[in-house]
Amino acid sequence: MDFSLIIESFPVYLQGLWTTVWLVGISLVIGLCVSVPLAIARNSTNYALSLPSWGFIYFFRGTPLLVQLYLIYYGMDQFFPVKDTLWEHAWFCALVAFVLNTSAYTAEIIRGAINGLPKGEVEAAKAYGMSKFM
């Protein structure tokens, strides 16, 4: 086995590893910021809020991430106003796909956590003076 090839390509591997960690970290932070309002909208009794959020979560949880990457990378470039913008770069398209996918999954986790609270805890929080939003 030739270890010189591994040693020569190790800096490229580290650069790719750093790019991956950076991409995942940013997508997790942005995805969490998107998922909290999405989970609240999904729990809403207002159909104007809950139905679009249900559709978003249903689509992005129901399709594979690779299909989402293909749709965003190859599909968005087909529209004329989008050409020659950030959508041409694979890194930005991957970031958008990861954010959308992460926010859909995290919104369902948060929604399940909100719905899983016992009624007694919510009543105790109201007794302490917390608002319904919290």
Residue type, 51: L
Domain count, the chain: 1
pLDDT number for residue 11:
93
Give 40-72 pLDDT, tens digit per residue. Answer: 999 999 999 999 999 999 999 999 999 999 998
Residue 34 lies in a domain: yes
Residue 88's CATH number: 1.10.3720.10
Q: How far apart are CA 49 and CA 79, in angstroms?
A: 28
pLDDT number for residue 74:
87
Q: How far apart are CA 7 and CA 39, in angstroms?
A: 47
Mean pLDDT of the chain: 90
Residue 134 lies in a domain: no
pLDDT number for residue 133:
65
> Degrees (nearest 5) of the Cα angle 107, 20, 76?
65
Residue 71 lies in a domain: yes
What is the crossing angle of helices 3-43 and 90-115, to 10°? 50
pTM, two decimal places: 0.83
Residue 133 lies in a domain: no
Residue 88 lies in a domain: yes
Task: Give the domain extent around 115.
Answer: 3-127
> Of all residues in the chain, what percent carry a pLDDT higher than 90?
62
Q: How far apart are CA 130 and CA 124, in angstroms?
A: 9
